[in-house]
Amino acid sequence: MSVKNQFSKYAKEYKNHNIIQQIVAKSLVRELKFQPKRILELGCGSGQVFNHISWEVEFYKAIDASASMCELHPKSVNIEVKCLNFDTQDFINEIKNDSYDIVLSSSALQWSNDLSKIVQHLSYITKEINAVLFTSNTFKTIQEITKTKSPILDEDSIKEAFLKFFNCEFETILYKLEFDNKKDLFDYIKKSGVSGEKSLSYSDSKKLYKEYPYNYLEFEVIFVKTISKL
């Protein structure tokens, strides 16, 4: 299952299964050092970041690969929502003549096939990027039990991609989300949109359900703030 489909399939009930995404989106906006007027957001979803912006903006371009999510995002005369994959040339063509006070991204860029390329092109259109990305240590215990590799980027790869073009501040945080029972825990994995492209086999799923030792899921995220261009 592709990442796009993972998000699209549960789009209407997504708000009930993205608790960590909501927490980090709120933190991302709260930590802004100023109130930018022209904003580009990558991986806008249904509006988790935009809904926390309390000031008037001149222009807000929201990008997401899922058409279902784009349909749910708030609309107005100064909000432009585009259904685009940020790994494609179409995305680069879309933004190449733009200029923004800041680029925001929450819980999205960890899926990139070439994060360095994205950051490079963003460096042409903005001086500031504030982003939060899940790292490959998300669901770490699950990976250890099933002997699988995370489909998302590790912390060092994320840092390396940004540091090629910007001086940055980084903060890595581990969240633990507790559940009342295993059924709710595994249902969350399925519907949260964090599990990625790789589906476990029936035997691996059975093994995981039997052996998973905790009543919580692990989510590791890295907050990235650019300070200056190189």
Which CATH number does the domain housing residue 12 bear? 3.40.50.150
Overall domain count for the chain = 1
| 72 Cβ contact list (under 8 Å, min separation 6) | 11, 12, 45, 46, 47
In this prediction the pTM is 0.90
pLDDT score of 206: 87
Q: Which residue has the tokens 């925001």?
A: 104
Q: Flag whether pLDDT at 87 surpasses 70.
A: yes
Q: Flag whether pLDDT at 8 surpasses 50.
A: yes
Residue 205 parent element (H or E): helix 202-211
Q: Flag whether pLDDT at 198 surpasses 90.
A: no
Query: In which band, very low, low, confident or very high, does the pLDDT at 31 lie, cut at 50, 70 and 90?
Result: very high
pLDDT score of 197: 43
pLDDT score of 11: 52
With H, G, I as helix, E, B as strand and everything else as coil, classify residue 96.
Answer: coil
- Burial (CB count <10 Å: 0-12, 13-18, 19+), residue 148: middle
pLDDT score of 19: 84
Among residues 52, 55, 4, the alpha carbon closest in space to that of 27 is found at 52
The parent domain of residue 211 ranges over 3-229
